[in-house]
Amino acid sequence: MEILHVSAECYPMAKVGGLADVVGALPKYQSALGHFAKVVMPMHRTRFLTDNEWEVVHKGTFDMGKLHYDFTIIKEKTNKLGFDLYCVDIYGLLDREKVYGYNDDTERFMAFQIAVLEWISKWHHKPDVIHVHDHHTALIPFMMKYCYAYSNISNIPTLLTIHNAQYQGWMGWDKSMYLPSWDTWRWGQLDWNNNINPLACGIKCADKVNTVSPGYLGELMQHANGLESLFNYEMGKCSGIINGIDYAVWNPETDTFILDNYNLKDFTNGKHLNKQALCREFQFDENLPLFIFIGRLVNEKAADLLPGSIQWAFQKFGEKFCCLILGSGESSVEYSLQAIARRYVGYYNTQIKYNEKLSHQMYAGADFLLMPSRIEPCGLNQMYAMRYGTVPVVRRTGGLRDTVIDYGETDGYGICFNNPSMDDIVYSIGRGIELFENKPKLLEVRNRMMNINLSWETSTEKYLNLYHSIIH
């Protein structure tokens, strides 16, 4: 099968969050099973771009509204990632350092999608499936069906994967002029509450839709940032497939970012050495349980509850634990997290940045990972933590509910709580401290979670079955 993934992110070319990890891993696993998986993404100006060799495979032009653009498709030369990686270069629009966050993101991702379709419609053969990811690429199924220029590819089946339904890419109807000439009778496919809503449009027009966990799909029926009724209406073509983790990248036995490698059978010493190094770097006492948080400091992740919860936990339990935070996001949260650092020197530290290497060292060196998320479509952090022997402390929501069982339950291995509240977080930190002090139980929990199969293999099969169900 030939599968073309279209995405804004792909690890290691450009990563903001879990989307990149998924698009960097799933095609690799599909290729390993003998399929021909390709990824096309915008040519962000990243280190991976400059560190690798590329060849030009296509040049084209298109009009978007009153503007005329030239675009180039380049391909990474050596199949370094285990699949073909293509990037779209549109001078002045896509060749920027950040993936998102520009005032003209609407124009940038519209142009990206048009360029991809211009390119595919010129291929001599057709891919079997076009797999689009999140709202940045969700207008593609609509454009394939209803833009006259792409009628030769309108029959290619499409799958939309929703990694996060909070972000939908809304734009005013004035932006409809950017779309290549289309069948205006179909305006209803684009519309949601008098705006163009790319995610809603993708849900309506793709042949199948999936979310990154079954639990999240269930929640979207009730809370989907305005799309609840659409999810209920389109339920027949929706399913949930939990993400896996890429064992080539996330494996304590081979991870080159961590100080001391360890395996699933013999991890006590390796984990200890990683913790020792991390504690030395941040002047923590290595004999205390170390809690970490890694992620975007945003409301969805309940990062706003962290400063209060951490202070309250220090008041309640005394200096019986350490805590290290890595992330960036809302400036008020960044500020509050940094402000408390002065009060708990030697027990608490915040690193406001994005740092892939440090994140690996933290998964390897910590005892507990905090994830109090309000919304978590799948969550990868808890799976990385489990693989590295770090106990996830999670709120029961979305993919966290699907992947973590409380250690108080049969065959459990994590710490779970119900509410995104300071009470629940502090109580769970207390349970973590208790578990840390019960060494035989901690060892049992670690053994159990490190041996869970979290690989992409099972989910890759599920995606292949989904493709088969839409290939005519």
379 sits near ligand ADP (criterion: CB under 6 A): yes
295 touches ligand ADP by CB under 6 A:
yes
18 near ligand ADP, rule: CB under 6 A: yes
Q: How far apart are CA 384 and CA 371, in angstroms?
A: 12
**Cα separation, 83 vs 86, whole angstroms:** 10
Distance CA 18, CA 212 (A): 10
Asked if residues 167 and 134 have their Cβ atoms less than 8 Å apart, the reply is yes
**CB 340 to ligand ADP: min, Å:** 18
Q: If binding is defined by CB under 6 A, does position 27 make contact with ligand ADP?
A: no
Site for ligand ADP in 420-459 (CB under 6 A): none
Write b or e for each residue in 239-253: b if 16 or more Cβ atoms lie within 10 A of its Cβ, otherwise e: bbbbbbbbbebbebe
Token digits for 125?
């053969």
> Cβ closer to ligand ADP: 203 or 212?
212
Member of 75, 296, 320, 448 binding ligand ADP (CB under 6 A): 296
Among 1, 17, 82, 312, binds ligand ADP (CB under 6 A): 17
| Residue 226 CA to its chain's centroid (Å) | 22
For ligand ADP, the closer CB: 114 or 162: 162
Q: Which is nearer to ligand ADP, 28 or 204 (CB)?
A: 28
- Name, in order, each residue with C-beta under 8 angstroms of 184's C-beta and a sequence gap of 6 or more: none
Instruction: Establish if 21 lies at the interface with ligand ADP (CB under 6 A).
Output: yes
The tokens describing 445, both together, are 């929990």
12 makes contact with ligand ADP (CB under 6 A): no
Q: Which is nearer to ligand ADP, 107 or 367 (CB)?
A: 367
Residues 245/383, Cβ–Cβ less than 8 Å: yes
Decide if residue 381 touches ligand ADP (CB under 6 A): yes
Which residues have CB under 8 Å from 337's CB, separation 6+? 297, 303, 306, 307, 325, 350, 352
Site string for ligand ADP, 344-373 (x = CB under 6 A): ----------xxx--x--------------
Q: How far is the CB of 354 from ligand ADP (least distance, A)?
A: 4
Q: Is residue 337 part of the contact set for ligand ADP (CB under 6 A)?
A: no
Binding site for ligand ADP (CB under 6 A): 17-19, 21, 294-296, 326-328, 354-356, 359, 378-381
